[in-house]
Amino acid sequence: MLLDSYGRTATDLRVSLTDRCNLRCTYCMPEEGLQWLAKPDLLTDEEIVRLVDISVRELGVTEVRFTGGEPLLRPGLVGIVAACAALEPRPKLSLTTNGIGLERTAEALREAGLDRVNVSLDTLDPEVFQRLTRRKRHADVLRGLAAAREAGLRPVKINAVLMPGMNDAEAPDLLAWAMENEYELRFIEQMPLDAQHGWQRDGMITAGDILTSLRTRFTLAEEGEQARGSAPAERWLVDGGPHRVGVIASVTRPFCRACDRTRLTADGQVRTCLFATEESDLRGALRSGATDEHIAALWRTAMWGKKAGAGIDDPSFVQPDRPMSAIGG
């Protein structure tokens, strides 16, 4: 098991497959992009599968989410999914993606064993999408969402970040559209994980702002902590159900006490938290011939040192040097 000193058990593994991305979202990275990791620094497909195997067989992981950067840019993605779906015990497998390329890969991913997807979509307006992402790919994302739904990668969840002066008035429209198309919408507060370190607390759209906006059109009934469990999203029934909307309030309503996640970067580092400033190297152990048992012990040691919380409200909080694209969402 992956226990920490505060009594939490990590059963949900987030695996970043690449730090590269084909969008340039304003809340993530600068327009010119970033200096990507060198290929030799990245875990190979086989190394990824081995670490996932160790996590489920030795450490009690039951859910694996593939992230990035943009994981659809990983050439071996389908093979990685298939190999992880063949593990015993078999973990639940999901993918977080911007949706570009999902139209052509959704069916293959489903056949390989992927269970569901989360797709990032912040706006219904193609022009706003271009301003937010600096790319004209809105239609590609919509087609990717539809392909995932038709392939049976359900529930298809949409992740939306609201930015002031850009899409902050779109919450009700996004929810109405998501319900009409059988998607489950989740709003995510903007977090201090941008490469340019431009995040400002006093400029962000909060969970409270989002809920106030949604209630101008919908009746929301909170599901409560028991239904939420360790999930990062607080969820509300919309107009009595069956549709739901979620809000991930990492900044204003942190959920650290119930966190059950462990994270693996594309270059083989264990991160105990999105906001961690320290990492533990597993890639070096892999490539030096370490046994599965030794790697599992290193992973346990890393997780035992997990802090009580992200510390965003602490005056001494320091934003991680590594941006979201390198960490994995």
Q: Indicate the annotated binding residues for S-adenosyl-L-methionine.
A: 27, 69, 120, 191
Q: Do you know the residue count of the chain?
A: 329
User: What's the count of helices (H) and strands (E) in the chain, helices before strands?
Assistant: 11, 12
CB 301 within 8 A of CB 280: yes
Summarize the annotated binding site as residue ranges: 14, 21, 25, 27-28, 65, 69, 96, 120, 157, 191, 256, 259, 261-263, 273
- Among 185, 166, 189, residue whose Cα is nearest residue 176: 185
Q: Is 87 helix (H, G, I), strand (E, B) or coil?
A: coil
Q: How far apart are CA 231 and CA 246, in angstroms?
A: 10
Distances from the Cα of 104 to the Cα of 107, 148, 301, angstroms: 7, 10, 41
Which tokens belong to 237?
A: 């029934």
CB half-sphere exposure, 92, CA atoms < 13 A: 9
Which tokens belong to 302?
A: 């890393």
Distances from the Cα of 174 to the Cα of 31, 102, 171, 232, angstroms: 26, 20, 5, 20
CB 248 within 8 A of CB 187: yes
Summarize the annotated binding site for GTP as residue ranges: 14, 65, 96, 157, 261-263
Summarize the annotated binding site for [4Fe-4S] cluster as residue ranges: 21, 25, 28, 256, 259, 273
